[in-house]
Amino acid sequence: MTTQPTIGVLAVQGDVREHLRALEDAGARAVPVRRTVELEAVDGLVLPGGESTTMDKLVRAFDLHQPLRARIAEGMPAYGSCAGMIMLADRIADARPDQQTLGGIDMTVRRNAFGRQVDSFEEDLHIHAIGGAPMRAVFIRAPWVEQVGDAVDVLAHVEEGPAAGRIVAVRQGALLATSFHPEVTGDHRFHQLFVEIVRGNA
């Protein structure tokens, strides 16, 4: 598929504009998604950062929860950053009693694992799946991945500090997730990888 894929960004909360811009720069036609009819029209979907419990409630308020789960289960490519990673996890280590996820990636994540907003940080990560120079990763109240199933490819770990070795980027088939926010740095190689996944899935 060499044509331009249409990729949606779930637009109920979070850094939607930054993802739309990054996807456009990576060669996709990017559109916000708030309704089922908009979801049905996209080839792939980005679940942006935000606050995972709020996103869960808003997705259900917009009657998007079951349509999202169904499309992901049917094989629609999806990429989740930060809160979006939590939304794509099959399991949350410290979920609130009523919190639900969309699922799809056989992993257990821990919310706010690196600490509160004041503990946000940046680090250079070596990510073999995208190659080239290290990627500057911005972590903002970020989750990390505590456990993955056999079908999950680990793409990146924290490389320094007390959290060294923690998993912060994964892929399972057409599903991609990062603890960090590549949309805010101007380095759009993760979005380019996702665009290629969407093209390959068509």
Tell me, yes or no, whether 37 lies in a domain.
Answer: yes
What's the rounded mean pLDDT across residues 62-76?
96
How far is 51 from 55, CA to CA, in rounded Å? 6
Q: What is the pLDDT of residues 134-171, one digit of tens each?
A: 999 998 888 999 999 999 999 999 988 778 889 999 99
Which contacts qualify for 20-25: CB closer than 8 Å, 24 or more apart?
Answer: 21/183, 22/182, 22/183, 22/188, 22/191, 23/191, 23/194, 23/195, 25/188, 25/191
Let me know how long the chain is.
202
* 129 inside domain: yes
pLDDT of res. 89: 96
Q: What is the CB-side half-sphere exposure of residue 28 using CA atoms within 13 A?
A: 31
Domains in the chain: how many in total?
1
Whether 99 is in a domain gets the answer yes
Q: What is the CATH number of the domain that holds 145?
A: 3.40.50.880
Q: Does residue 125 form part of some domain?
A: yes
**Averaged over 119-139, what is the pLDDT?**
87
> Does some domain include residue 189?
yes
Cβ distance 201 to 174 under 8 Å? yes
Could you list the residue range(s) of the whole structural domain that residue 192 is in? 6-201
| Cα dihedral sign, 185-119-113-8 | negative
pTM for the complete prediction?
0.93
Answer whether residue 124 is part of any domain.
Answer: yes
Cα 103 to Cα 28, 92, 111, 120: the distances in Å are 24, 10, 15, 26
**Does any domain span residue 93?**
yes
**Which of 200, 184, 130 is CA-nearest to residue 20?**
184
How many CB atoms lie under 10 A from the CB of residue 96? 11
Active site residues: 82, 181, 183
pLDDT of res. 164 = 85
Which residues, other chains included, contact 193 with Cβ-Cβ below 8 Å and sequence gap of 6+?
129, 130, 176
State pLDDT tens for residues 74-102. Answer: 999 999 999 999 999 999 998 777 888 99
Is residue 1 a part of any domain in this protein?
no
167 forms beta bridges with 145, 157
| Inter-residue contact 143 to 109 (CB < 8 Å) | yes
